[in-house]
Amino acid sequence: MILATFASSTLWSTVTLGYAALTLCLILLVKTLVKPYMSGNIPPFPARPYPILGHLPYFANGQRQKLLEFRKTTGDIFSMFFGSQLFVVVNGPRLVKEVLVKHPDTMNSRPPQPFVDQGDYGVVFSNGAMWKEQRSVSQAILRSFGMGKSSLSHKISEEIGIYLDTLAALDGKPKDVRTLTAASISNVICSIMVGKRFDYDDPLFKSFVENFTRQIAAFDNMSVVAIWPWLRYIPGNFLGAKTVNMCAQIIRQEFGDKFIELALKEDGEDAAPTFITSYIKEMKKAQKQGNDTTLSMEQLRINLQQLFIAGTDTTATTLTWFLVYMLNYPKIQSKMYEEICSVMGPERAPDMQDKVKLPYTNAVIMETQRLASIAPQRYAKH
Ligand code: HEM
């Protein structure tokens, strides 16, 4: 009898527990499937989200084609879930401009970057007032050095000369030129940041390029960690989140400090200013005036690391696409060469001032950027 009562009460608790678990699952399912559609004031969804994954499975065969398809079926603005995070996708120049220009305060932040330690520092990942100060100081310094102007072009021309000599020395032997291209771009950035370029074989520079190339490769999986941040705490180096942070730390501490030391050593009455010395000057000025400033040595180290990464990978990838297109379209390559020779002769290389005289060459460069389209999406902030 006692045994029977015990058995039936165990059965009841199991049934109750089963019901509770089922109810919880149903609530979670309804929350995932129905809630998005019920929250009124958001743009439409192009397709039904999957439980837990949201719209991610739709991108199993790549993002670009699917996003174009969603735009066609749903319009220039639509919503998507990556995991449980809501994204609103805005397409087309008219709507993008409207969003950025009419709502600058809503758009001046990026989503949190849970895969990077100190993700809210430095010009790329900071937000709000910190970003405004880091951005305006960095931009003013870069502009004063000729970023986007012709005065930077002699540094670029010098580097291109060495890059071409290195390629010529290969004497036709096959080589993956990606690392060399990244190193040459980094060298241009080095001359702005530190005031000097490095030999491609310099051990400090080689190890620096290796580290940030490793970091960029590890970024590939970080969009998954951004959706489910707990993934980075799985023991081991699951998805490479530890590599991203380890390389960032090495770049900041070992190279950042070395570069700062080098720039300060070269600094003097007659020395040309560098990004590092100009930033430190601005920082000291703000501190002396008693301003509530976000400029600091730690921010400088992070800015250096971010500028190298933001500037190198983008430019090197664009150049690599250019090489791929030129190898595949030799007629276009010849036509460009003829234009350059007819304007400046076969000896002198073109520089930024010659840009207006070379419409065909310019068109090829712009067409490369359009076709390669290496950064078709961006996350808020302008
Ligand atoms: C072909 C070359 C390049 C491409 C395609 C490119 C593309 C982009 C894109 C799409 C963004 C995001 C814009 C935003 O979210 O507001 C960005 C941001 C940025 N880029 Fe570039 N970039 C290139 C070269 C460079 C260079 C050479 C540097 C510096 C040395 C640089 C530094 C930055 C920085 C610091 C940001 C963050 C700006 C901020 O958040 O305020 N980029 N870039």
DSSP letters of 145-214?
TTTTSGGGHHHHHHHHHHHHHHHHHTTT-----HHHHHHHHHHHHHHHHTS----TT-HHHHHHHHHHHH
Q: Is the pLDDT of residue 1 over 50?
A: no
Indicate the helix (H) or strand (E) that contains 38.
helix 35-38
Instruction: Say what the pLDDT of residue 381 is.
Output: 55
With the CA atoms of 333, 184, 246 and 56 taken in that order, what torsion angle do they form, in degrees rounded to the nearest 10? -20
Distance 312 CA to ligand 1 centre (A): 10
Q: Is the pLDDT of residue 40 over 90?
A: no
Q: Which atom of ligand 1 is nearest to the CA of 135?
A: 41
Buried b / exposed e along 188-217 (16+ C-beta atoms within 10 A):
bbbbbbbbebbebeeeebeebbebbbebbe
Q: Which residue type, as a one-letter code, is found at position 89?
A: V
Distance 368 CA to ligand 1 centre (A): 17
| Cβ neighbour number for residue 353 with a 10 Å cutoff | 9
Q: Is the pLDDT of residue 32 over 60?
A: no
Instruction: Evaluate: CB of 381 within 6 angstroms of ligand 1.
Output: yes
Q: Which residue type, as a one-letter code, is found at position 9?
A: S
R_g of the chain computed on alpha carbons: 27
- Residue 273: which residues within 8 A CB-CB, separation 6 or more? 144, 145, 281
Alpha carbon distance 14, 145 (integer Å)? 73
Alpha carbon distance 16, 13 (integer Å)? 5
Alpha carbon distance 90, 132 (integer Å)? 24
Alpha carbon distance 376, 310 (integer Å)? 15
Distance 380 CA to ligand 1 centre (A): 13
Indicate the helix (H) or strand (E) that contains 365.
helix 359-372
Alpha carbon distance 226, 308 (integer Å)? 22
Residue with tokens 């006692």: 2
Alpha carbon distance 335, 142 (integer Å)? 34
Alpha carbon distance 249, 302 (integer Å)? 9
* Residue nearest (by alpha carbon) to ligand 1 atom 5: 314
Instruction: Say what the pLDDT of residue 351 is.
Output: 84
Buried b / exposed e along 100-109 (16+ C-beta atoms within 10 A):
beeeeeebbb
Mean pLDDT score across all residues of the chain: 85
Q: Where is pLDDT greater, at 22 or 249? A: 249
User: Stretch 366-378: mean pLDDT, rounded?
Assistant: 89
User: Stretch 287-316: mean pLDDT, rounded?
Assistant: 91
Instruction: Say what the pLDDT of residue 310 is.
Output: 87
Sign of the C-alpha dihedral computed for residues 18, 234, 86 and 51 taken in this order? negative
User: Stretch 148-157: mean pLDDT, rounded?
Assistant: 75
Provide the percentage of residues in the chain whose pLDDT is more than 70: 86
The model scores a pTM over 0.85: no
Residue with tokens 């241009």: 188
Buried b / exposed e along 110-124 (16+ C-beta atoms within 10 A):
beebbbbebbebbbb
Token pair of 194, please?
A: 């530190």
Distance 308 CA to ligand 1 centre (A): 10
Q: Which of 266, 153, 254 is nearest to 205 (CA)?
A: 254
DSSP 255-316: IIHHHHHHHHHH-STTSPP-HHHHHHHHHHHHHHTT------HHHHHHHHHHHHHHHHHHHH
* Residue nearest (by alpha carbon) to ligand 1 atom 6: 314
Instruction: Evaluate: CB of 36 within 6 angstroms of ligand 1.
Output: no
HSE toward the beta carbon, residue 156, CA cutoff 13 A: 15
Tens digit of each residue's pLDDT (9 = 90 or more) over 126-138:
888 899 999 999 9
Alpha carbon distance 292, 171 (integer Å)? 57
Tens digit of each residue's pLDDT (9 = 90 or more) over 271-280:
778 999 999 9
Token pair of 244, please?
A: 């991203």
Instruction: Say what the pLDDT of residue 173 is.
Output: 93
Q: Which atom of ligand 1 is nearest to the CA of 185?
A: 27
Q: Where is pLDDT greater, at 115 or 9? A: 115
Query: What is the residue extent of each domain of the chain?
Result: 27-98, 122-320
Q: 118-121 contacts: CB < 8 A, separation 24 or more?
A: 118/302, 121/298, 121/299, 121/302
Tens digit of each residue's pLDDT (9 = 90 or more) over 197-244:
999 999 989 988 888 888 888 887 888 888 888 888 888 887 888 888
Q: Is the pLDDT of residue 328 over 60?
A: yes
- The CATH class, in words, for 122-320 is mainly alpha
User: Stretch 35-50: mean pLDDT, rounded?
Assistant: 79
